[in-house]
Copies of this chain bind each other. A is one copy, B any other.
Amino acid sequence: MTAPVHIAQALAWVDAATPRLETEEVALRDASERVLAEDIRAAAPIPPHDRAALDGFAVSASDSISAGIYSPLSLPTIAVAAGDAMPEGMDTVVPLDRGLLEGDDRVLLVEAVAAGDGVERQGTAADAGDLLAAAWTRLAPRHIGLLAVAGLTRAPVARRPRVRITIAGSVRSGDAGDSDGPMLRAAVTRDGGIIAETVLADAFAAGADIILVVGGTGPGRADVAAAALAAAGEVAIHGIALRPGETAGFGRIAAGTPVLLLPGAPHACLWTYELFAGRAIRRLAGRDPCLPYRKIEMTTARKIVSAIGMAEIWAVHYRPDGLVEPIASLAEIGLPAAAEAAGFVIVPEASEGYPPGTAVTVYLYDDR
């Protein structure tokens, strides 16, 4: 291992290695959560012409001026349903319960109507050329609906990253089997990646956008991950000033694909995934690269300790008095602390920790 690098340096390496992937066209019906690759503008006004906004009687408002409760007025009409094009020469739709149909083509009104009432005018929602959704938008239902209204059936989006996962380390004594694989599958899916799993011998072949090698990152004789990567390309970083996660490493295969070596201990695997691999995958997918947790400022109820020179992640609880209480260093108790926590605090390398009463940034698991 090299001298441990600081988190900022490790993040800079990740960012340089992970540009947004190229554009592909997908059916709009399958575009949920995908990231738009370019601005989408309205090709024509929305709606393209005046339409009935409700079910009723289309009339010309200027014909209705003298209508009154004592002087009902019979007007030419065409019955329309919401969404129908407005008939030629008619500018207003009277609701069904405000007029009385006479035969098929006349309606009796007892009050004047205002021109344009009950009509959705051409261009109300958007003019031709209006921006409907900007490049880098992560498509939510409301965007997909709007693009469909604008006539799109396909959308240009960033391709989803193909994430290859290789479990290289051995299962720990007493564990039932690999626990990192299921955990990483969940995380990669959350972050928009497409997963392929393989064995170490096939880890460094072509065909992936990013390669995660899990386990075997330590200094022992059985720790083969870094040597295997060195043989397939280059190891750029091995050893990060982060607890848990200090044996993580990054590099590339000869063809250039980035490779992240994640420690096999599940809590260290999770945290190096969260800070580095998840960011890499989100960047490739065009998503917001930041941790997918909301940040808030809270005040510590008790001391949080951390070795100087190492960033350290602490799981925290809320307290009823509004303070935040450290549960444990995630390096010590591991996943149970993360599973029961309200969130976590990252104590930076330069800090020895925080005395009680310090304002700290908390990343929240449950953001509501």
Measured CB to CB, the residues of A under 8 A from B are 28-29, 31-33, 46-49, 51, 54-56, 79, 81-85, 96-97, 124-126, 130, 132-133, 139-146, 148-153, 169-187, 189-190, 218-223, 264-267, 269-270, 273, 288, 290, 294-295, 332-336, 338-339, 365, 367-368
Using Cβ atoms and an 8 Å threshold, which residues of chain B touch A125?
333-336
Q: Which of B29, B178, B265, B273 contacts A182 (CB 8 A)?
A: B29
B187 touches A133 (CB 8 A): no
Residues of B within 8 Å of A290, CB to CB, are 368
Contact A144 B182 (CB under 8 A): yes
| A151 surroundings in chain B (CB, below 8 A) | 175-176
Using A29-B185, A55-B223 as known contacts, say yes or no to A218 and B149 having CB atoms under 8 A apart. no
Taking A55-B223, A124-B333 as given, write out 17 further A-B residue pairs in contact, using a Cβ cutoff of 8 Å, ordered by the A residue number: A29-B185, A47-B175, A49-B173, A51-B174, A54-B218, A81-B223, A83-B175, A126-B336, A142-B339, A145-B182, A145-B270, A146-B266, A146-B335, A146-B336, A148-B182, A290-B368, A367-B367
Q: Which residues of B contact A46 (CB under 8 A)?
A: 336
Q: Is B175 touching A55 in the complex (CB atoms < 8 A)?
A: no
The residues of B that contact A221 with a CB separation of less than 8 Å are 79, 81
A133–B339 Cα distance when bound, in Å, is: 7
Question: Across the interface, which residues of B come within 8 angstroms of A48, CB to CB?
Answer: 174
Which of A46, A56, A180: most chain B Cβ within 10 A?
A46
Q: List 8 A-B contacts (CB under 8 A).
A: A33-B186, A79-B221, A82-B218, A83-B169, A133-B339, A142-B335, A146-B338, A290-B368
**Nearest 7 pairs of A and B residues by beta carbon:** A55-B220, A83-B172, A148-B179, A145-B183, A32-B186, A151-B176, A85-B173
Cβ–Cβ < 8 Å partners of A338 in chain B: 142, 146
Q: Are A183 and B148 closer than 8 Å at their CB atoms?
A: yes
Residues in chain B near residue A32, CB distance under 8 A: 185-186, 189-190
Say yes or no: A96-B172 contact (C-beta < 8 A), given A141-B184, A149-B266, A368-B295: no
What's the number of copies of this chain in the assembled complex? 2
| Contacting residues, chain B, for A367 (C-beta < 8 A) | 294, 367-368
CA distance A311 to B339 in the complex (A): 39
Question: Using Cβ atoms and an 8 Å threshold, which residues of chain B touch A335?
Answer: 125, 142, 145-146, 149
CA distance A141 to B265 in the complex (A): 14
* A339 engages B141 (CB within 8 Å): no
Give the residue among A97, A142, A265 with the most B Cβ atoms within 10 A.
A142
Within 8 Å CB of A139, what residues of B? 186
Q: How far is the CA of A31 from the CA of B186 in the complex (A)?
A: 8
Nearest-Cβ distance from residue A191 to partner chain B, whole angstroms: 10
In the complex the two chains form, is B183's CB within 8 Å of A144's CB? Answer: yes
Chain B minimum-CB-distance residue to A96: B219
Known: A55-B218, A124-B332, A336-B125. A190 touches B223 (CB 8 A): no
In the complex formed, the residue of B with least CB distance to A138 is B366
Given contacts A47-B174, A339-B133, contact A264 B83 (CB under 8 A): yes
Task: Return chain B residues, CB-CB under 8 Å to A54.
Answer: 218
Cα distance, A332 to B118, chains bound together (Å): 11
| Bound Cα distance from A96 to B172, whole angstroms | 19
Contact between chains at B174 and A49 (CB < 8 Å): yes
Residues of B within 8 A of A29 (CB): 181-182, 185
